[in-house]
A and B are shown apart, each in its own frame.
Chain A
Amino acid sequence: MATEILMPALSPTMEEGTLAKWLVKEGDTVSSGDIMAEIETDKATMEFEAVDEGTIGKILIAEGTEGVKVNTAIAILLEEGESADDIDTSAKPAESEEPAAKSSPAEKEDKPEAAPAEGKSHPEPKVDTAPDWPEGTTLKKQTVREALRDGMAEEMRRDENVFLMGEEVAEYQGAYKISQGLLDEFGAKRVIDTPITEHGFAGIGVGASWGGLRPIVEFMTWNFAMQAIDQIINSAAKTLYMSGGQMGSPMVFRGPNGAAARVGAQHSQDYAAWYMQIPGLKVAMPYSASDYKGLMKTAIRDPNPVIFLENEILYGRSFDVPEIEDYTVPFGKARIWREGDDVTIVSFGIGMSYALQAADRLAEEGIMAEVIDLRTLRPMDTDSIIKSVMKTNRCVTVEEGWPQGSVGNYISSVIMQEAFDYLDAPVINCTGKDVPMPYAANLEKHALVTTDEVVEAVKKVTYK
């Protein structure tokens, strides 16, 4: 049966082109791979190859013709035994079906429900207010460092597929002593010193998670993970989606994040806002020791890649940790550290230090702040924020990261969309200054967010 040869699309954007030159003439036989014509696209001149075998029965579009639309018949191909006389108007295109519509499905129909609620109705947010541990639980003082190690060790005892890899995690006992004692207990098979090669070992970690293991990949600091961010985002975060749900990356990337002290611009960046943006990742940024432990255990068990943002200054701080067997903290549940009616202060990680200090000082002046620790940024417990703002009508966010595209910016937009009518003042975002971190002690202190700034912001939104 004679078939039509159609004008091909030769680039992702081509809609029409020029049939620059025929390299075959009527009566020529062609076989698969033979070059039949030269076609000029919007980008370049391309060679057009035959797919099927046959004889060129008729050339329908003369060479030199411009503006030939994609999928126009340009020639007729005859199969063995056919002659040009067989050509009639009933010749079917080689592929009879219409090309796929160019518009994406999302444009064709109404957008799926994704946008936050709009309009004036503000349903009461559902908030889980259950305490992290029951009253009367025995508590012990523990540093963040110890709690984090205990969380990892418990999970390594529970599941032999969990292992820790990173620079200096084994024999050195951890650059910040987080993995102290783990090599002794679990051996070199499960506590693995890597070369200084973040991009490479992050990729090996992701591959190992696909191979059925549960890696914990430690970055000596998150600053070094910029070398590995392609593996974190393109390989770990996106594969579940790209594989249609066949395979995900159950693993934890962890390490100290943000400023330590006097280490300069390249070692002092806060990545909270960066990772919070990525669908496919979960992001935890705890403040207290009990949360470090409970969230780390949850992170290791989670079937998704988790970004665990720690803080070097917090490592040595002590908090109450409940003596509960297998203590875990769920993702997406904020903790209210302090209740108050006058203003909501939202923070996470080391930002909580400033938030809580500011709340103490404000209380002395009779301003009662409600202080919310988000604990995880993705998922983010925005319901707890909205519920609190509905009560206080004011909100200040606190973080050490940069101002443009900050976590606070996102929280502000959520409040505007979901609780606009409840606001009595604009939300203020207290952030680090919009500068690389300086080395000089006085400049560094000034570059970070300060308690004074939080106090001042609260006074501004409460018109005090």
Chain B
Amino acid sequence: MAARKSTSKPASKPNVSADELKSYYKDMLLIRRFEEKAGQLYGMGLIGGFCHLYIGQEAVVVGLEATTKEGDSRITTYRDHGHMLACGMDPNGVMAELTGREDGYSRGKGGSMHMFSKEKRFYGGHGIVGANVPLGAGIAFADKYKGNDHVTFTYFGDGAANQGQVYEAFNMAALWKLPCIFVIENNQYAMGTSQQRSTSSAEIWERGKAFGIPGEAVDGMDVLAVKEAGEKAVAHCRAGKGPYILEIKTYRYRGHSMSDPAKYRTREEVQKMRDERDPIEAVRNLLLTGKHASEEDLKAIDKDIKKVVNDSAEFAKESPEPALEELWTDIYATEVPQEA
């Protein structure tokens, strides 16, 4: 099967309803405000260790989540807060995990990089770059074994795309026709090393050609383009045709982690992206110019989201630290975990 280049159209003629457009706006704004708040709590010492913010990349997960149905799975690397919010996990539980508290998704034992929701089929949150790619293929393997039509979204970055195990997974996924969408979130920098300096090919998705995996490049600053490409990939996987690669070109506004001085790119480069390609502004403009929403409507949405985020921060600060006994729990299971 030949790989092909994206034919995704710009978002000028959205094939979505006003309500859908509004929900993308809300979902993306929730991620952005949540991440800004997380950055603030980190600054106050309430969040420790590593904290990787998703600001700028919101259209990727929101566009793809719009193509999922009940039973689909998702797994990603350590820049994972956006994925959790987009698949419907509770902002309170996510923020409380960031602060290392009892009411966090992992009862404070996972932290920013290691969070899971069996209920939402969100399989983490992984701190080892590239390791989640075979894991995602394995979840897809289980779905194929059981004979259902679920798909697994396996997200990883342009940096992870240089790990050998990614290609081990590509090979087996193609060989066994696993229903796995490999989503390369190309934000152009692997920590501080630009794609140009780390990656031999300009188009990473084309590496799938070597395995007979079709794919395409997608404008990741345009939520509608992401959704359209996602629908194509999902249809391919659900039809039993095997894996699909989406290389979504996106951009992270903030540093790699909280302690990144960002000396590897200019302030102008970041500012230009923010001014000209911001995914949230783009949808906002569509809503306003299409008269799907008024300034007041959007202000009301902003206010609601600010409240959700502030509430999550309050919740995360008030939740107690885990009991000392938690140190010794969840090392071994006594029963087989129930399938979600």
Contact = CB atoms under 8 A, between A and B. Distances in A.
Interface of A: 6, 8-12, 14, 32-33, 35, 41, 43-47, 49, 51, 70-71, 94-95, 97, 99-100, 102, 105-106, 109, 112, 114, 161, 163, 189, 194-195, 197, 199-213, 230-231, 234-235, 239-248, 250, 279-280, 282, 303-304
Contacts of A161: 145
5 contacts: A12-B49, A100-B100, A106-B327, A243-B106, A247-B337
Contacts of B50: 12
Contact of B172 (A45, A201, A230, A239): A201
A295 to B, nearest CB: 16
A206 B135 contact: yes
Interface of B: 36-37, 39-46, 48-50, 55, 73, 75, 99-100, 104-110, 114-118, 123-128, 131, 133-143, 145-146, 164-165, 168-169, 171-172, 175, 253-255, 258-263, 267, 274, 313, 317, 321-322, 324-325, 327-337, 339
Contact of A105 (B36, B105, B322, B328): B322
Contacts of A235: 126, 128, 131, 135
B178 to A, nearest CB: 8
Nearest to A35: B267
A201 B135 CA distance: 9
B44 A163 contact: no
A241 B332 CA distance: 8
Contacts of A231: 131, 134-135
B135 A94 contact: no
B130 to A, nearest CB: 9
Given A43-B261, A207-B142, A208-B141, A9 B327 contact: no
Which applies to chain B's interface (DSSP): helix, strand, loop or mixed?
loop
A12 B51 CA distance: 9
A212 B146 contact: yes
A213 B109 contact: no
Contacts of B165: 199-200, 203
Contact of A204 (B55, B117, B127, B169): B169
Given A9-B45, A246-B116, A46 B261 contact: yes
Nearest to A41: B259
Contacts of A248: 333, 337
A44 B261 contact: yes
Given A206-B134, A206-B138, 18 more contacts: A6-B43, A44-B261, A51-B39, A95-B41, A100-B46, A105-B322, A197-B168, A201-B172, A204-B141, A204-B172, A207-B138, A210-B123, A211-B138, A230-B131, A231-B134, A243-B124, A246-B118, A303-B334
Contact of A211 (B46, B115, B142): B142
B114 A242 contact: yes
A189 B259 CA distance: 48
A19 to B, nearest CB: 13
B145 A213 contact: yes
A303 B336 contact: yes
B263 A44 contact: yes
Contacts of B332: 240, 280, 282, 304
A41 B171 CA distance: 44
A245 B330 contact: yes
A195 B175 contact: yes
